[in-house]
Structure 1
Amino acid sequence: MVEDGDRVCWKKKSIFFDLEYWKYLPVRYVLDVMHIKKNVCDSIIGTLLEIPGKNKDGITARLDLLNIGVKTDLQPEYGERRTRLPPGPWNLSRAEKREVCNSFYGMKVPEGYSSNIKNLVSLQDSRLLGLKSHDCHTLMQQLLPVAIRSVLEKPARYAITRLCFFFNAICAKTVDVFKLDKLEEDVVVTLCLLEKYFAPSFFDIMVHLVVHLVREVRLCGPVYFRWMYQFERYMKVLKGYVQNRTRPEGCIAKRYIAEEAVEFCTEHLSDVSTVGVPSSQKMGVSKPLSGCTVTVVDRDLLNQAHLYVLENTEEVLPYIEQHMIHIQTAYPKFRKRTKWLQDKHNSTFIQWLRFKVQSELNEEDNHGVSENLRWLAAGPNMAVPLYRSYLIKGIKFNIKAQDDVRTTQNSGVYLLAHTMQVASAKDKNPILSNMGFYGVIQEIWDLDYQKFTIPVFRCDWIDNTSGLVVDELGFTLVDLSKIGHRNDQFVLASQVKQVFFVDDPMHRGWSVVLSMPNREYNDVIGDDVLGDVRIECEPFTRGMPNVDTFDEVVVELGSQNIRDGCEDIWVE
C-alpha cells in the first residue's frame, strides 16, 4: 500500500517476478483474442441496441461526461418520476434498431460458417440474445459492418466499421510482417475515433487490449495459433464424456483412456479410420450428396458445357492453338477481328476436334493421343445427372432452389477468369485480362464421358457492367436480378470459390458480397512454420477513407453531439 496525500493506491506485484528470467520475457502472457473480440462485440451491440446488462450508456456514463467537461449537452435531465437522456452519437432510433435486427434476421450464411443468426434475433425487443464466442467472431469479422450500413451518422458508423476491418485483418491465416506497422497505426487511430463518438464508459480494459494485439502478432505469429476456440470446443467433448455427474473427473478420465486405447489399436488395423479425427479437407474427393435426376438436356447447353471443359483441359490447349491458326488461314479477311475469330472458334471447335482426334487415331503412330483425350473429343452423354448438392474439397455447394427451402446459403460462387473484355457492343478489338465474376448456381451437372465424370455448375452470372459496383468502404455490391453472360453459363466445380450474398440495408435491391473464410492450413511441420508468414491486410486498408475524411465529416456536424431525429432515452 502506497499513501499519496489523501489518496490510497493499491499496487500488486505478481509473484512471477520473483523468477530471474521473468522480467526479461517480451511476452509474459498471451492475450486471448477470442474473449477480447467477444467482449468488444458485446459492448458495441449492447450499446447500440441498449441491451440491459451490456449497455455502456446510462446516467453514470452521462455524469462522467459532465465531470470531465466534454459533450456537456448530453448531461441527464432529472424529472419527478424519470430522467431524460438526450440521444448521443452512439444511440439508435427505434426504426434503426428494427432495421439492424431485420438485417440480421434475414441473413443466410453458408453451412458451417456460423450458427443460425436468425435464432439470435428478438424482433419484439429489437435485441440480439444468446451470443456465443463464435457468433461474436462472425459478427465482428463481416456481418456487423453490413447490418449498420444504413444507421448511425457517418463518423460513428465508419469508426465501428474500421474496428471490424481490423479484427478481420488480425485474424487472417497468413501475416505480412511489413504491413504490421501500418496496421498498428490504423488501430490506434480507430480507437481515437471511437473516443470521439462514444462515451468514456465504453472504453474498459478489453477495448484497451486491442492496441496490443498487433504487437503480439509480431512476436508470436498469427492469431489462430493462440486463440481459444479449439480448446473451448474440446471442453465440450470432455463434458460429453460425463455420465455420472457426482464423479465428473472420473468419467472424463475413463472415457479418455478408453478412446486412447481404441486409437492405439486402429494403428495396427487396415482400412480403419482413427476415432474422432476427420479426414483432411484438402484430400476430399468431389462427390454428389443428394438429389440425383437424370435428364436429357438441351443440345446447345450441353455443347456450351462441353466446350468449357475442353478449353480448361491442358491436353486440349495445343489443339485450340491449331484451330485458331486454321480459322485465321481459312478466313484471312477476319484475321484482325479478335471477337469474330473467338465466336467462330466457339461454334466450330467441338466438331473440328472430334474429326482431328479421330484422324490421328486412324494413323499408325497414333500421335500419342491419350485415352482421356479420346473420350473428351467424343463428347459427353446426352443424359446428364443433375444434383441438388455437391461436395468439392470439403465445401458444400447447393443449387438456388435448394437454398430457398433451407436456412443456409451455399449457392453463391466467385470466379477469377482470364477472359476477353470489351468496352461496348461495338468494340471489335477486346483485350485479355483477369476479371472477377459473381454468380448463383442454378444446376449442378455431372458430365459423363464414359470413363470418367466431370462436375460443372450452370450459373446465373451477374452482369459486370450494370449489376456490380464497389462502394467507398471497399464492399462489393451486386444486383442479383441483372443477369449477363448468358452464352457462357458453365464453370468447372473445382474453379470457383464460395461466397454468399447479404441484402444491403442501404440500397434496396442490392446485395453485399461476403466471402467464406479460408479453412485450409499449410501442412508445414518444423522450424519453418512461420517462414513465409503474411497477413491479408487488404480488407482493412483498401477502400477505407483516411483520417482526413473523418475530420471533414466532423466539421460538417459542428459542435452539437445530440442526434437529430432520434428519440430521447428515459430512465425510471
Structure 2
Amino acid sequence: MGVKTDLQPKYGERRTRLPPGPWNLSRAEKREVCNSFYGMKVPESYSSNIKNLVSLQDSRLLGLKSHDCHTLMQQLLPVAIRSVLEKPARYAITRLCFFFNAICAKTVDVSKLDKLEEDVVVTLCLLEKYFPPSFFDIMVHLVVHLVREVRLCGPVYFRWMYPFERYMKVLKGYVQNHTRPEGCIAERYIVEEAVEFCTQHLSDVSTVGVPSSQKMGVSKPLSGCTNTEEVLPYIEQHMIHIKTAYPKFRKRTKWLQDKHNSTFIQWLRFKVQSELEEDNHGVSENLRWLAAGPNMAVPLYRSYLIKGIKFNIKAQDDVQTTQNSGVYLLAHTMQVASAKDKNPILSNMGFYRVIQEIWDLDYQKFTIPVFRCDWIDSSGLVVDELGFTLVDLSKIGHRNDQFVLASQVKQIFFVDDPMHRGWSVVLSMSNRVYNDVIGDEVLGDVIIECEPFTRGMPNVDTFDELVGELGSQNIRGGCEDIWIE
C-alpha cells in the first residue's frame, strides 16, 4: 500500500523481523498492564473477578465473557493503560473507550448525538494514524453507524444479544436426552413455570432446605429523602431563631451554620414536644420519633444491603475479593477559602471516601442506616486533563462531620493509578434494580452501563498539542522487535 514503509517486515535467512509499531507493548509494559488488572477489586455484581482473568505468567487476559469485555472497554482499560504506550496512541484508544461508555448508557441525550457522531469519526481517523491497515476490518467500520442506529432505534441495550445468549445457556442446561432436545426444553420450561407460580402462591411459607436470597428478609429503612422533607421546615425555623437570638452574627454565614449544627437536635426535641401539647398539631409519627432520638444501643454491621446495593466497611473489603466500601456524596455545602474566611460560598461539592463503620439507628418504629466515613481532604483530590478523578486516600479531612445517611451516597470504587503511585482513580457504577419475579441469574443483565468518568472527549482542535506527535518515524523506540520463525 506504500504507507508506513518503515514498519514493513524485514526478511532474513531464517527469521522475519517485525519492527514494533506505536501499538506494540514492551514486555515490561505488558507486565504492568496485567499487574494493574490483577490488583483491581470491583464491586459485587459489577463483573467477574478480574484477578481470575489475568495470567501474569503469560501476560494475557483469559476467559473473558461479553459482560467483562464491556466493563474493561468502558472503564477499566483506560485506567490500565495510563502509564503505557505513547500519548498519541494511548489517547486515541481512550477516546474510543469514551465513545462506547456514552453509547451504552441507559439514557441518551439526543441533542448530543451529532457531536458524538463527529467525535467517533475523528477517533477512527486518529486510530488510522497509529494502527496498521489490517486492524480496520468491517467490524471497526461499523462503529461509525452506531450513533445513527441510536438515533433511529433508541438506546443500544434494547437491541443487543447478550441477555438472549445467556438465556440460551439456560435452555441448553434443560437438555437431558440429546436425541430429543426440543422436547426436553419444552417439558422443563413448563415444569419450571409451574414451580414459579406455586412459589408466588406460597411466598409467605418458609421453605425447607432452600436458602433464602440475600436480597430477601432485609427490613426497609426509612428513606433519607422523607426525613429531609419533614425536617426541612424546622431547619429554616431554627436558622431564623439563631439570627434573632444572635443579631451580631447575622451576616457571618459560617458561624451561623456551626451554631445550627451544634444546637439543632436539642432545639428540635423541645420544639416538637411543645407542638404535641397543642390540639391539631400536625406532627407526623415519623417526625415524633426522630425528635425523640434513637436508641442509645447502636448495632454495627460489616455489610449492609440497601436498595439492592451492598455496602461493606473497609475491614470487610480487606478480606474479600470485591470492593463495596467506596462512597460518593454530592452535597450543597459551604466552601471556604481559609480558616479565617467568614463569608463562604454555597455550592455543590463532591466528597469521596471508604466506609469505616455502618450504624443502624433504631427509632423504635423504623431504622435509619448511617455510614461513618473518613472523607478525603480537598488537597487530595485532582481532576486530570482527560476527566479522570484522582484521589489520595491517605489525606483525610472533614473529621468533624463523618456521618452520612446511607440513602444519600452513591457507590463508587477506587483503582490504583499506574501513572501516579499513591493515587487512585475514582470509578462509579450504575445502580441495579432487582426483580423478585425474574432474577438476574436467569436472563442476566439487559443493561451493561458504566457511569462515565468524564463528560466529554479531549478537544480535537488541540489534540496534537495535548498529546504531542509521534514524529516522522512509525517505529516505536524502546520496544522489543517481534521475530517470526
Q: Same fold (TM over 0.5)?
A: yes
Contact preservation (8 Å) 1:413, 1:440: yes
Instruction: Spell out, residue by residue over 1:229-278, the C-alpha distance to the aligned partner (whole angstroms, 9 max, x if none).
Output: 11011112112212334443332121012223344556766758999999
Residues 549 and 536 (structure 1 numbering): CA distance in 2 closer, same or farther, change over 3 Å? farther
Report deviation, 1:279: 13
Give the C-alpha shift of residue 538 in structure 1. Answer: 10
For the 8 Å contact 1:108–1:409, the answer to whether it is kept is: yes
Asked if the contact 1:284/1:394 (under 8 Å) is kept, the reply is no
User: Are the equivalent residues in 2 in contact too, given 1:241–1:252 (CA < 8 A)?
Assistant: yes
The answer to whether the Cα contact below 8 Å between 2:167 and 2:443 also exists between their aligned partners in 1 is no
* Alpha-carbon offset, residue 83 of structure 1: 1.9
- Does residue 504 in structure 1 map to residue 417 in structure 2? yes
Equivalent residue for 1:198? 131
Helix, strand or coil at the partner of 1:194: helix
Contact 1:174 1:536 (C-alpha < 8 Å) held by counterparts: no
State the distance in 2 between where 1:184 and 1:281 align: 43
5+ long unaligned stretches in structure 2: none
Deviations, residues 365-403 of structure 1 (Å, cap 9, x unaligned): 263333322221221122101111111111111111111
* Closer, same or farther: CA 109–452 of 1 in aligned 2, 3 Å: same
For each residue in 1:293-327, what CA deviation from the matched residue of structure 2 results, as whole angstroms up to 9, or x when unmatched?
xxxxxxxxxxxxxxxxxxx5322222222222222
Gaps in structure 1 of 5+ consecutive residues: 1-67, 293-311
Going from structure 1 to structure 2, the CA distance change for 1:247 and 1:563 (only over 3 Å counts) comes to same
Displacement of 1:542: 3.4
Alpha-carbon displacement from aligned partner over 1:147-171 (angstroms, at most 9, x marks no partner):
0011111110011111111111111
Deviation of the 1:286 alpha carbon? 5.4
Distance 1:538 1:368, change over 3 A: closer
SS in 2 for 1:172: coil
Q: Structure 1 residues 414, 92: CA separation in 2 closer, same or farther (over 3 Å shift)?
A: same
1:470 Cα deviation (Å)?
Answer: 0.8
Match of 2:233 in 1: 318
Residues 390 and 397, structure 1, Cα contact 8 Å, conserved in 2? yes
Call closer, same or farther: CA 1:522–1:244 in 2, change over 3 Å.
closer
CA contact (8 A) 2:352 2:375 kept: yes
After superposition, the CA RMSD in angstroms is: 4.9
In structure 2, relative to structure 1, the CA distance for the partners of 1:537 and 1:231 (3 Å cut) is closer
Assess if the C-alpha contact under 8 Å between 2:383 and 2:389 holds in 1.
yes
Q: Deviations over 1:473-521 (max 9, x none)?
A: 1111111111111111111111111111111111111111111034359
1:120 to 1:410, Cα distance in 2 relative to 1, 3 A: same
After TM superposition, the structure 1 stretch with the greater mean CA deviation from structure 2, 238-247 or 532-541, is: 532-541
Q: Which residue of 1 aligns with 2:59?
A: 126
Partner SS for 1:556: coil
Q: Secondary structure at the match of 2:472?
A: coil
Going from structure 1 to structure 2, the CA distance change for 1:167 and 1:523 (only over 3 Å counts) comes to farther
**C-alpha contact 1:291 1:388 (8 A) present in aligned 2:** no
Aligned residues of 1:283 and 1:393 also touching (Cα < 8 A): no
- TM-fit CA distance, 1:426: 1.4
Say if 1:521 and 1:194 are closer, same or farther in 2 by CA, change over 3 A: farther
Retained in 2: the 8 A contact 1:86–1:569? yes
Shift of 1:182: 1.3
Alpha-carbon deviations, 1:431-458, whole Å to 9, x = none?
Answer: 2221111121111100011222111111
8 Å CA contact 1:472, 1:544 repeated in 2: no
Change (3 A) 1:547 1:537: farther
Q: Is the 8 A contact 2:104 2:449 kept in 1?
A: no
Structure whose alpha-carbon radius of gyration is higher: 1
- SS of residue matched to 1:436: strand
* Residues 125-179 of structure 1, C-alpha deviations (whole Å, 9 max, x = no match): 1111122211111111101010001111111001111111111111111122221
Pair 555,173 (structure 1): closer, same or farther in 2 beyond 3 Å:
closer
TM-score with structure 1 length normalisation?
Answer: 0.76
Q: Which moved more, 1:248-257 or 1:332-341?
A: 248-257
Q: Does 1:468 align with 2:381?
A: yes
Q: Give the drift of 1:568.
A: 1.6
1:557 aligned onto 2:453 = no
**Contact conserved, 1:98 with 1:126, CA < 8 A, in 2?**
yes
Measure how far apart 1:352 and its partner are.
Answer: 2.0
- Count of aligned residue pairs for this structure pair: 484
Would you say the 8 A contact 1:176–1:536 is kept in 2?
A: no
Q: Which residue of 2 aligns with 1:382?
A: 296
Change (3 A) 1:114 1:434: same
TM-score, length-scaled by structure 2? 0.90
Q: How big is the shift at 1:203?
A: 1.0
**SS of structure 2 residue aligned to 1:539:** coil
- Looking at structure 2, the residues matched to 488 and 526 of structure 1 have their Cα atoms a distance apart, in angstroms, of 39
Tell me how far apart the structure 2 counterparts of residues 409 and 546 of structure 1 sit (CA, whole Å).
34
Contact 1:221 1:530 (C-alpha < 8 Å) held by counterparts: no
TM-aligned CA distance change 1:514 to 1:526, over 3 Å: closer
Distance 2:400 2:121 in 1: 50
Greater relative contact order (CA < 8 Å, ≥ 6 in sequence): 2
Q: Structure 1's 279 and 493: CA in aligned 2 closer, same or farther, altered over 3 A?
A: farther
- SS at structure 2 position matched to 1:435: strand
Contact conserved, 1:286 with 1:392, CA < 8 A, in 2? Answer: no
TM-aligned CA distance change 1:72 to 1:220, over 3 Å: same
CA contact (8 A) 1:184 1:211 kept: yes
Aligned to 2:141: 208
How many angstroms apart in 2 are the aligned matches of 1:468 and 1:527?
36
